[in-house]
């Protein structure tokens, strides 16, 4: 049974679209899943069906529901290119030590508070 959303994109097209909206390269997604970039490229270009053994990991890494990934419901979270760049940088911050991540969060909080005061 197909839905109106499932007809819009095949699985590979949806995967590529979501990956790009999340600001991830094929290489970054592949690394997160523990597969090669060629596997991601194959799924995006050649595959019309999701890889069952990677489905759970894809949903987790891309932060989407299974229904969104499979096209049964619209994708909720969409990032514009500027936000996608910020998201990529924040994802890279995961490799920082706990102390450095706390420092980064403190800095972000200070900038947000400063911005709110400035705009008030």
Burial string for 84-105 (b: 16+ CB within 10 Å, else e) reads beebeeeeeeeeeeeeeeeeee
Q: What is the pLDDT of residue 104?
A: 92
Domain check: are 19 and 65 in the same one? yes
Burial string for 4-36 (b: 16+ CB within 10 Å, else e) reads ebbeeeebbebbbebbebbbbebebbbebbebe
Domain check: are 30 and 49 in the same one? yes
Domain check: are 48 and 89 in the same one? no
Number of domains in the chain: 2
Residues 72-78, mean pLDDT to the nearest whole number: 75
What is the tens place of the pLDDT at every residue in 92-102?
888 899 999 99
- Angle, helices 11-21/55-62, rounded to nearest 10 degrees: 30
pTM: 0.60
As given in the structure block, the two tokens for residue 91 are 């994802």
The answer to whether residue 42 scores a pLDDT higher than 90 is yes
Percentage of the chain surpassing pLDDT 90? 39
Residue 34 lies in a domain: yes
Domain that holds residue 86: 81-119
The answer to whether residue 81 scores a pLDDT higher than 80 is no
Residue 2 lies in a domain: no
Residues 72-76, mean pLDDT to the nearest whole number: 81
The Cα 5–Cα 13 span in angstroms is 13
Residue 111 lies in a domain: yes
- pLDDT category, 16, cuts 50, 70, 90? very high
The Cα 112–Cα 109 span in angstroms is 5
Which residues, 6 or more positions from 109, have their beta carbon under 8 angstroms from its beta carbon? none
The answer to whether residue 5 scores a pLDDT higher than 60 is no
Report which secondary-structure segment, H or E, holds 105: helix 98-119
Residue 3 lies in a domain: no
Task: Give me the residue label for tokens 């690394």.
Answer: 31
The answer to whether residue 120 scores a pLDDT higher than 80 is no
Domain check: are 50 and 86 in the same one? no
- Average pLDDT over all residues of the chain: 84
Residue 76 lies in a domain: no
């Amino acid at each position: 049974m197909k839905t109106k959303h499932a007809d819009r994109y095949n699985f590979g097209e949806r995967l590529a679209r979501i990956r790009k909206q999340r600001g991830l390269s094929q290489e970054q997604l592949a690394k997160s899943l523990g597969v090669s970039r060629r596997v991601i490229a194959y799924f995006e270009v050649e595959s019309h069906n999701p890889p069952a053994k990677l489905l759970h990991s894809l949903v987790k890494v891309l932060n989407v529901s299974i229904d969104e990934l499979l096209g049964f419901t619209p994708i909720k979270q969409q990032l514009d290119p500027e936000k996608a760049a910020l998201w990529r940088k924040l994802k890279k911050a995961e490799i920082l030590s706990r102390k450095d991540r706390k420092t980064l969060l403190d800095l972000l909080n200070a900038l947000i508070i400063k911005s709110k005061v400035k705009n008030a």
